[in-house]
Structure 1
Amino acid sequence: MLQAKSSSTGSVGNWGPVIVAVVLFVLLTPGLLFQIPGKSRVVEFGNMQTSGASIAVHAIVFSGLITIFLVAIGVHIYAAKV
């Protein structure tokens, strides 16, 4: 019979997926650093505007990068609970 272990001190948590997702989310926010497609050009930098098309493109780029970092590369950052 399988029993779940209770969380005790000294257990380790994997923070890699959380940190990678937050950093990518902030960096890929449409209009913050860049926007693909822009309103007048293909790429616009720091315009702080967005559109439906740019949200879709940034979501696809985010999904691809998070898949590469978490599945293909396997980023792991462990933090021990004290």
Structure 2
Amino acid sequence: MSRVVLRSLVHRITAHPDVPLAYTASCESCSWKAEPSADGEAVDVECMAHSGRSNHRQFTRTVTGRAFVVREGEDPKPPAP
């Protein structure tokens, strides 16, 4: 008979320190898109400028980034790709 040993490990997910967030936005009324940027406020300003010119008021905003999972107690550096 074989024995199996189970253990529980605590994990957490964290943002990758070397990859900045990327912000984008697009208008829901037309094909306009903001220039992607690492600055979310700059994208918001672009949306407001587009709204002022077109009276379009609804936008889809997205934020993308990279994350990684580490075991509790491990070095929090991201693993090599």
More strand by share: 2
Same fold (TM over 0.5): no
Q: TM-score, normalised by structure 1?
A: 0.29
Name which one, 1 or 2, has greater alpha-carbon Rg.
2
More helix by share: 1
